[in-house]
Amino acid sequence: MIAKLDIAALLRDFAALLKKYLGPLVIRGLGAVAMLAMNVLVARQLPADQAGIFLWSVAVLMLASVVVRVGTDNSVLKLASIAFSEGKDDQLYRQQWFSLFLVGTVSLFVSINAVAVVWLVPFFSEDKRWALTYMLAAIVPFSLLFLQTRFLIAARKSSLGIFFSTSAPFIGFILLIFLFPFEDAATAAAAFLAASLISLTLALGIFPPGNRPGFPAKADRRDMLLMSRHFWLAAVFSEMIIWVSQILAVIWCSPDELAWLALGQRLASIVSLPLIAVKSVISPQLASAMSQRDFGGLARGLRESSLIGLVIAAPLFVFIVAMPDVLIRMTVGEAYLPAVDLVLICAIGQLVNVSAGISGGMLAMTGNEKLLRNIIVCSGILCVLLSIILIPVYAAVGAALAFSITMVIQNVAMYLFSRQFIRTCMKEIRHE
């Protein structure tokens, strides 16, 4: 009887967790499907070499957009979550105006100069130049869009925030594919620029930054930027782990291999589908719990995120490992079967990523920005070194190995440090 009661209680607890995260999980699933569909449609519509150039340019955009956000996306998520929970709307809107202005200025400057470099440096072929030009121009709207989603999440509009950060540009791109068939990577990149502009306009329309423009006080701006400095380094190197192996692969791999690698990483990312949804729900709660010194709430958040993530990710991982060739045939066709090994290798790293739950987000929301920065910076450097060592020898397989090994080491470290932080804080509370 006791065992039955325990099982029943466990099932009830899980049902409650699933209900709590159902909306964000569904939206995150839509985002995963949309990004995968973008990769699939590009792979089917364009020749493999053009598909490889386009997907490579997407990797450049993703990394560049993190650089130009200068860490404000994480700092405003923390500060805006606290401001919203305390009912300080004026403070929330001032943070929104300031961060959008700052990121807009930085991203425009970087975009213009990067385009100039692309056309001045003889390294790039003509098709890569045009694809990069459009994709670098997309840095401005794409970066502002992602920043705007942090305010949606902080204002407890998690599902909308996830939709615009993970789905909207890709859905818009897919619609443009059907309306205007693409012939090369440059046309596809131009369509992505248009989709990003449309998505940004809609996101700003849903949660505009107030009708009284203004910036936070000088001291508040300084504190926000100091916090953003740590988040920026962590975000840049975190994004490097995802994209740097693809970016460096262009030196040693053919365009076809670039396409296989991009597809392999994207298919494997299905395993991490629940993670962003869980982060979006729990991150604002962590910031509030930390401000109230509710360390029990922090511990529950870490356990919940690991449990719900693993329960959903495990079947996805088993399916990918058991039938990777079937998955590839179903999506992009026989021509991409060489990506089978790449999918399997990357899926292992993604499973460990989900298993660690929101340990990275917990460090970010609890004042451990420096520790998080150090872990991710070391991981990013490791990924670069592994890429340089492994890609020349094993080509695309080496890039996948560099990515997966780094993901495992990084997430194990973040999880262990998160648990240690919670235990230390709870011990201090007991001794007070």
Could you report the per-residue pLDDT of 128-147, keeping only the tens digit for each?
A: 889 999 999 999 999 999 88
Quote helix, strand, coil % in the chain, to nearest 5: 90, 0, 10
Residue with the larger pLDDT of the pair 261 and 306: 261
If pLDDT is split at 50, 70 and 90, which confidence band does 388 have? very high
Could you report the per-residue pLDDT of 322-374, keeping only the tens digit for each?
A: 888 888 888 777 778 888 899 999 999 888 888 776 777 677 666 677 788 88
Q: Are 377 and 321 in contact, with CB atoms under 8 Å apart?
A: no
Question: What's residue 24's pLDDT?
Answer: 58
The CA distance from 14 to 159, in Å, is 20
Query: Comparing C-alpha atoms, which of 138, 387, 407 is closest to residue 244?
Result: 387
The CA distance from 320 to 155, in Å, is 36
pTM for this prediction: 0.67
Cα Rg of the chain (Å, integer): 21
The CA distance from 270 to 317, in Å, is 8
Could you report the per-residue pLDDT of 37-62, keeping only the tens digit for each?
A: 787 788 788 887 888 888 888 888 98
Question: What's residue 383's pLDDT?
Answer: 92
Q: Are 64 and 139 in contact, with CB atoms under 8 Å apart?
A: yes
Structure tokens at 167: 């789905």
